[in-house]
């Protein structure tokens, strides 16, 4: 997947998030509109849940693509950060190697542990 393709997905994600917010917000609608919405509420029942599910699926797709690309991408209203997997070391194993092996650099590699790469979101503040 190309960066341009991920940018398109990110823009769609921001748009879907705004639509879901509007569906969930009563303050965004004037009282007369809210009354009309109540009259046709059955028609809209479940749409918010479907929107949330679509957002969750979109989010996972974007995160996977950002991890695959290995870089952070930004669109208006959304930044998908790439974070390389974390690296940790087995201190006890390293101590053992240092005591028993003079060629430390060659012996350290088996004790290196690297976490999984991941992506995260930051939404623009309003």
Percent of the chain with pLDDT over 90: 44
pLDDT of residue 74: 95
Task: Decide if pLDDT at 25 tops 60.
Answer: yes
Number of domains in the chain: 1
Task: Decide if pLDDT at 60 tops 80.
Answer: yes
pLDDT of residue 35: 79
Q: What is the end-to-end Cα distance of the chain in Å, rounded?
A: 30
The enclosing H or E element of 35 equals: helix 31-39
Strands 118-123 and 73-75: unpaired
pLDDT of residue 27: 67
Task: Decide if pLDDT at 40 tops 90.
Answer: no
| Separation of CA 7 from chain center | 13
Task: Decide if pLDDT at 5 tops 90.
Answer: yes
What rounded mean pLDDT belongs to the chain? 86
Strands 118-123 and 87-89: unpaired
Rounded average pLDDT over 106-118: 83
Structural domain harbouring 20: 3-123
82 vs 26, higher pLDDT: 82
pLDDT of residue 19: 87
């Amino acid at each position: 997947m190309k960066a341009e393709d991920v940018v398109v997905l990110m823009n769609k994600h921001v748009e879907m998030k705004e639509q879901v917010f509007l569906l969930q917000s009563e303050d965004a609608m004037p009282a007369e509109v809210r009354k009309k919405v109540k009259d046709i509420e059955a028609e809209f029942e479940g749409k918010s849940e479907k929107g949330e599910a679509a957002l969750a699926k979109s989010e996972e797709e974007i995160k996977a693509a950002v991890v695959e690309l290995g870089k952070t991408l930004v669109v208006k209203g959304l930044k998908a950060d790439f974070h390389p997997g974390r690296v940790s070391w087995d201190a006890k194993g390293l101590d053992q190697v240092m005591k028993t092996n003079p060629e430390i650099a060659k012996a350290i590699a088996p004790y290196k542990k690297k976490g999984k790469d991941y992506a995260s979101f930051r939404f623009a503040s309003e």
